[in-house]
Chains A and B, each alone.
Chain A
Amino acid sequence: MSGSPYAPNTETDTSEMLDAVGVSDVEALFDIPEPVRFDGDFDIESRSEPAVLNMVSDMLGNNDDLTEFLGRGYYDHYVPSVVDRLSLRSEFLTSYTQYQPEVTQGFLQALFEYQSILVELTGLPVANASMYDAASGLAEAALLASRIRDADGTDVLVPEYVREERVSVLENYVAGHDINVKRVGTADGTLDIDALTAAVDEDTLMVYAESPTTRGTIEEHLAEIGEIAHENDAMFAVASDPVAMSILEAPGDLGADVVVGDAVLGMPNAYGMGLGIFATRDDYLRHVPGRLIGIGEDQDGKRAFTLTLQTREQHIRRERATSNICTNQAWVALRTAIHAASLGPDGLVDLAEQMVELPRDLAAQLDALPGIEAPVHDRHHFREFVARTEAPASEIAADLEDEGFAVQAVDDHELQFTVTETNEHAVDDLLAAVEEVVA
């Protein structure tokens, strides 16, 4: 039997190698305990490449091809082809993130640009080279708060509108630290200031808010929330995203000490993958988790990019590192930077304006239909909104699925609709389907 490009060793090659090391068979090279061994059969026959392609295509053909109006943290924006074209170049698409300044000035510069874009959008002077996702960024913000001296306390206050998955990550992440997560009530889709005032006390370590929120509303009281946090020596963390921040006032200018969230740009909306943004104040520079790229000079005095302040990180500081994120999603950050740069400031603002108009128009059209009211909250919205239904929302969602649309039921009589430039072409069809289903 001859080898293949994917498994190049023939049986002869294998036996020669086994002879050379004095071992009877491949099994003898491994020492895997019996209880964890899989001794079944994977039931995979070898096939030719075209046969495998056909088989997998047939399998994927079984998927429902639904038009999605889903959001709640994961958004589909059109990724320009330049993003693939550049990011798939072999200098960029490597199996391990390239950080060595001697050989990878290009990648380091791209990451520096990514950080710079976030500094501009967040209004905060320091941004790291990314976290895993918005949820881990939120959790790292809580740990940052526990490290800095001007915030003391144990309670992290999280609004009711934040979706459970994000809160669950936060709770898991801070387990073992002296940190408790507490929920604060909302009023018409944004944080209830009275409830916050009642909940905040000397034990408050951090106050967290989102804008846009998980329910699509714009949080109108960020500055006020920040003041309440700061009056109680608590840190103020805000989640947003680069598209929203292109049009909203920069959270840093409203008193946010940390901005987290999802980069949204650069990747297709698939499998729940995110890219966590993380920006903070200069004072907290040495407490920032994750990688930081800085500008220095080489021995000839030329500008050079390099990892900086690595003494925060676990390969230097071991168990006392600021966080155990030592690598990150640098390639995704690169794609985000290319996407943002290709839109440019004007393109980002145009996109953001669309994200205000599209849900406003869809909500108004839904509201005109019998059996559905939209939006539930009398607020400005971004990308998405919640609608109230007379019939049970889960039944309507199931009927819409039969019609080819994915819409999420978020409560007994609440549906959430998300609309961006990638699904707006299907709005009329969706409206027709809703009218039919609700009637």
Chain B
Amino acid sequence: MSFEIPENLYYTESHEWVDPETGKIGITDYAQDELGDIVFVEFPGVGDHLETDDELGVVESIKAVSDIYSPVSGEVTAVNEALEGEPELLNDDPYGEGWLVELDLDSTDEVESLLTPEEYESQL
């Protein structure tokens, strides 16, 4: 089975993605598939400041509860409230409508230490 891994994003070993252009963060196609049907997402507060590896939220599926960690540091500027009513968006479109939070990144350099699409694919 092959998973979608967009070229313009950076990745973590724990299956989060970050878009350096928009500051948006989510979980990967592989992660949503592993979790199964998502039923609930818990967000940080808008205005919270997150350090790298801080807990960013919780994703709950019918199989498991997973903590999501922030791949980079920054201030939370938005959370994807659409997921509160339609958590399945995360399964259907993990890189689009299923984004989790948007950060105002402390520094755009931080993503350099994350995995490239090729590196992420090779660890799957």
Residue ranges of A at the interface with B (Cβ–Cβ < 8 Å): 149, 286, 311, 316-317, 320
Contact = CB atoms under 8 A, between A and B. Distances in A.
10 contacts: A149-B45, A286-B40, A286-B42, A311-B40, A311-B60, A311-B65, A316-B65, A317-B65, A320-B65, A320-B67
Interface residues of B, number: 6
Contacts of A311: 40, 60, 65
Contacts of B40: 286, 311
Contacts of A286: 40, 42
Nearest to B60: A311
A317 to B, nearest CB: 5
Contacts of B42: 286
A271 B92 CA distance: 56
A435 B67 CA distance: 67
Contacts of A149: 45
Interface of B: 40, 42, 45, 60, 65, 67
B96 to A, nearest CB: 26
Contacts of B45: 149
Contacts of A320: 65, 67
Contacts of A317: 65
Contacts of B67: 320
Nearest to A285: B40
Nearest to A149: B45
B36 to A, nearest CB: 13
Nearest to B65: A311
A311 B37 CA distance: 14
A72 to B, nearest CB: 40
- Ordered nearest first, which 5 A-B pairs have the shortest CB separation? A311-B65, A149-B45, A311-B60, A317-B65, A316-B65
B54 to A, nearest CB: 15
A316 B65 CA distance: 8
Report which residue of B45, B65, B67 has the largest number of chain A beta carbons within 10 angstroms of its beta carbon. Answer: B65
A322 to B, nearest CB: 11
Nearest to A286: B40
Given A316-B65, A317-B65, 8 more contacts: A149-B45, A286-B40, A286-B42, A311-B40, A311-B60, A311-B65, A320-B65, A320-B67
Nearest to B39: A311
A28 B65 CA distance: 45
A311 B42 CA distance: 13
A278 B37 CA distance: 30
Contacts of B60: 311
B75 to A, nearest CB: 16
A146 to B, nearest CB: 14
A149 B46 CA distance: 10
A311 B62 CA distance: 9
B47 to A, nearest CB: 11
A170 B42 CA distance: 27
A353 B100 CA distance: 53
A320 to B, nearest CB: 8
Contacts of A316: 65
A289 to B, nearest CB: 16
A331 B21 CA distance: 57
Nearest to B42: A286
A399 B45 CA distance: 61
A320 B67 CA distance: 10
A74 to B, nearest CB: 38
Nearest to B61: A311
Nearest to B45: A149
Nearest to B62: A311
Nearest to B44: A149
Nearest to A321: B65
A144 to B, nearest CB: 14
A317 B60 CA distance: 11
